[in-house]
Amino acid sequence: MKKFYIAFLLVFLINFILLFINSSETIISSHQKKLKVGLVFDVGGRGDKSFNDSAYKGLEDAIKNLEIDGQYIEPGEGADRESALRLLASEKFDIVFGIGFIFTDDITNIAKEYPDVKFACIDYAVKVDENGVVVPPPENVAALKFREEEGSFLVGVIAALVSKTNKIGFVGGMDIPLIHKFEAGYCAGAKTVKPDIEIISNYAGVTGTAFKDPAKGKELALSQYNKGVDIIFHASGSTGLGVFEAARMVNKLAIGVDADQYFEAPGYILTSMIKRVDVAVYKTIEDCLNNQFTGGIKNFGLNEKGVDYVYDDNNKNLIPSEVIKVVEELKEKIIKGEIKVPSTK
């Protein structure tokens, strides 16, 4: 009888301990907090088939693969952007993204008010003081920048070697240093393989609306095509959709930007300069999730797979294989540091 009670007591104690362990695990798991990520879009918002859509893909991939909570806001103009950032920060999101250089000042100021919230800004406009020294962003801000000139160099090489008229064009959105990087790299690449090539460049405007004006893009592109240009590279957001329309109208070629834009005008898109905003967004979220987030300037170039060009089954019939061979050789030289691509006009 005594042995029975001892056995009963042991079974009871084991079940009690197991119950306690299971209960503890339940309590712990019920209090596990998902990383909260907020994202505020740039001018043009979702559906631009370019910059903003790439950022959204990064957020979407993080939600799927990293099991985070994500939320985005499409603001209007001006103060709406600041309000959107402030709303996400005040709701204790772990990290808040501003998609575009236009968020630089707002993120810099709000980050100081919310030191416990992490921020990231795509194309953060780094400032320099009166002595020419770079002013770093706040410690809780990751300034995500790209070497657009490197990817643009490669599509410039393609455009120059494929052109039959020895005239190529560039259509930029807002006339600012950021877009000058695209133009500078494009021109440098073209001139590297064809020093005598003619390049015509135009910009859609000097305000943010220059990135969402397809009618202006079409007008500028038709003007260039009528002057003998047969290939145009655009870096202009949804304004570039007008460039594609013009290419279809006159049966000429265009080059997309930020994402693979082939399906915006199949057969008329020679290639696209890919700016992997999705990679930058995803990696920053992943770093935050793994407690590896650090503020400061982060650069994404060819070496970091932050920029590239498109060559696949869709455009193989438009770009000869010997052209790609030249492009890949030059690409490797850029990665190795043997070629320094200019970032200013």
What's the pLDDT at 27?
Answer: 26
Give residues with Cβ within 8 angstroms of 29, minimum separation 6.
none
Euclidean distance between CA atoms 297 and 294, whole angstroms? 9
Q: Are residues 320 and 174 in the same domain?
A: yes
Residues 97 and 153 placed together within one structural domain of the fold:
no
Residues 283 and 271 in one domain: no
Return d(Cα 254, Cα 273) in angstroms, integer: 11
Q: Do residues 236 and 243 touch, judged by C-beta distance below 8 A?
A: yes
Same domain, 157 and 112: no
The answer to whether position 118 is within a domain reads yes
Of 232, 181, 233, which Cα lies nearest the Cα of 344? 181
84 in the same domain as 103: yes
Residue 341: strand, helix, or coil: coil
What are the tokens at 135?
């002013």
Beta strands 231-235 and 167-174 are: parallel
* CA nearest to 173, candidates 221, 229, 230: 221
Residue range 33-52, pLDDT digits in tens: 799 999 999 777 787 777 88
Asked if residue 329 and residue 289 are part of one domain, the reply reads no
Asked if residue 289 and residue 225 are part of one domain, the reply reads no
Mind listing the pLDDT tens digit for each residue in 11-40? 444 343 333 333 323 222 233 579 999 999
Residue 9 lies in a domain: no
Tokens, residue 47: 């559906």
Count the domains in the chain: 2
Q: Are residues 207 and 318 in the same domain?
A: yes
Q: Specify the amino acid at residue 207.
A: T
Evaluate whether residue 207 is within a structural domain. yes
Domain-located, residue 31: no
In this structure, are 202 and 326 located in the same domain?
yes
Same domain? 224 vs 267: yes
- 226: in domain: yes
Q: What is the pTM of this model?
A: 0.82
CATH code, 132: 3.40.50.2300
Answer whether 54's CB lies under 8 Å from 260's CB.
no
- Can you give the pLDDT at residue 19? 34
Beta pairing class for 127-128 and 134-135: antiparallel
Same domain membership, residue 206 and residue 76? no
pLDDT the model gives residue 77: 62
Strand partners, 262: none
- Torsion, CA 54, CA 156, CA 297, CA 69, rounded to 10: 10
301: left (phi over 0), alpha (psi -120 to 50) or beta: beta
Please name the amino acid found at residue 34: K
The verdict on residue 343 lying in a domain is no
Identify whether residues 329 and 267 lie together within a single domain: yes
Query: What residues make up the domain containing 168?
Result: 148-275+311-336
Residue 70 lies in a domain: yes
Give the Cα separation of 65 and 21 in Å (integer). Answer: 29
Residues in the chain with pLDDT values less than 70: 1-32, 76-79
Residue 125 lies in a domain: yes
